[in-house]
Amino acid sequence: VGSPKLGRTPPLTEDETLERIRHTLESGTQSVDLRDDAAVVDIPGGGSLVVSVDSVVEGVHVDLSLCSPADVGWKALMGALSDLAAMGARPVGALVALCVAPGLEEGAGEGGVTLGVMEGVAEASRTAGCPVVGGDVSSGGELVVAVTVMGTVDGDLPVMRTGARGGDVVLLTGPCGGSAAGLRQLRAGGGGERAAEAADQSWAYRRPVARLREGTTARLCGVHAMIDVSDGLALDLHRLANASNVGFDLDALPVADGATPDEALGGGEDYELVMVVGPADVDALIGAFTSEGLRPPLRLGVIADDPDHRVLHGEPLGQLGWQHRLG
């Protein structure tokens, strides 16, 4: 009865797998676009919704010896919300599917891992103003938290990855590499409950924050394209450039306190937003961020017409970053 055939295939990268999945889904009657951070769904009766799903898996994305169940719940919801931020959407609700190993539950005491994770989800939910409207709990062999988020752009169009044009300016909401540095510090036995020193980035790793207000502010300023730094600044820059069929010429790399340039380029989970804006609109964008009390955006460089021209400090920028190898 249809059990998997034996054989071997070369492992696919995450992007390759998504391409194959798109093909499978498109071979039917429907047309889908899974290429952006989130999808846009028209709602019968008016309005449209920006939706996305994101998973956190113990042993792959997180390590429960370095962070608490509540950290895992927080990271799962914030990671999903970051996809809404990258579209300029405001969250309206989240659904959480939780899979917990019975063995984990037994060792976890008071309330167990399930309730610990949900406490972190609830904290992130309050911080982001995104109510949890549904959920599902299963037992399983390991901890998996899959979060679906829904958002609105209030009648406006969401910001896609596809709109960057030659001559546009590339801005970033904040320095990168903090999350990777925090993970390194935690692995080395460091890191406190909250950072006592600026270079302690353990909190950036355990409690990252989706840049939701930055995203909506950027949308209202008419940015041409956005992406969030989830898998590493370099990889996510390439993804945006691929989607827009452009290149880039960057002369700045904002590195978080305590992080290395490699961590800033390849670390991921920073959730800063890359914003691409027309040169005439840069000052208005910076002004809007300032008047909203947000950190002023950092200038990375410009978009190039040539899709093969992708440089940082005059050198070609590799596709550093975090792709799952499936298989």
Q: Which of residues 180-219 bind its own copies (CB under 8 A)?
A: 186, 191, 193, 202, 206
Residues 49-88: x where in contact with its own copies by CB under 8 A, - otherwise, as a string: x-xxxxx-x-xxx--xxxxxxxx-----------------
Taking the C-alpha atoms of residue 294 and residue 288, their distance in angstroms, rounded to an integer, is 8
Q: Which two tokens stand for residue 200?
A: 């302690």
Q: Name the phi and psi angles at 312, rounded to 5.
A: -125, 125
* 104 contacts its own copies (rule: CB under 8 A): yes
* 162 contacts its own copies (rule: CB under 8 A): no
Residue of 86, 87, 113, 237 that binds its own copies (CB under 8 A): 113
| Min dist. Cβ of residue 196 to its own copies (A) | 14
Q: Which two tokens stand for residue 52?
A: 């996305």
* 24 contacts its own copies (rule: CB under 8 A): yes
Q: Name the phi and psi angles at 79, rounded to 5.
A: -60, -40
* 136 contacts its own copies (rule: CB under 8 A): yes
Q: In this complex, which beta carbon is closest to its own copies, that of residue 150 or of residue 164? A: 150
309, amino acid identity:
H
Taking the C-alpha atoms of residue 219 and residue 106, their distance in angstroms, rounded to an integer, is 46
Name which of 148, 124, 153, 271 is nearest 219 in CA terms: 153
* 2 contacts its own copies (rule: CB under 8 A): yes
Please give the full DSSP string across 170-209, using - where no structure is assigned. EEESS-B-HHHHHHHHHHTT---SS-SSTT--HHHHHS--
| Min dist. Cβ of residue 118 to its own copies (A) | 5
Choose one: 113-121, 166-174, 278-286, 298-306; the region binding its own copies (CB under 8 A): 113-121
Please give the full DSSP string across 271-293, using - where no structure is assigned. --EEEEE-GGGHHHHHHHHHHTT
Give the interface size with its own copies as a residue count (CB under 8 A).
Answer: 107
* 41 contacts its own copies (rule: CB under 8 A): yes
Contacts of 214 (CB under 8 A, 6+ apart): 85, 173, 273, 289, 294
* 243 contacts its own copies (rule: CB under 8 A): no
Q: In this complex, which beta carbon is closest to its own copies, that of residue 51 or of residue 317? A: 51
Q: In this complex, which beta carbon is closest to its own copies, that of residue 100 or of residue 225? A: 100
Residue of 84, 85, 100, 255 that binds its own copies (CB under 8 A): 100
Contact 6, 316 (CB under 8 A): no
Residue of 74, 82, 152, 289 that binds its own copies (CB under 8 A): 152
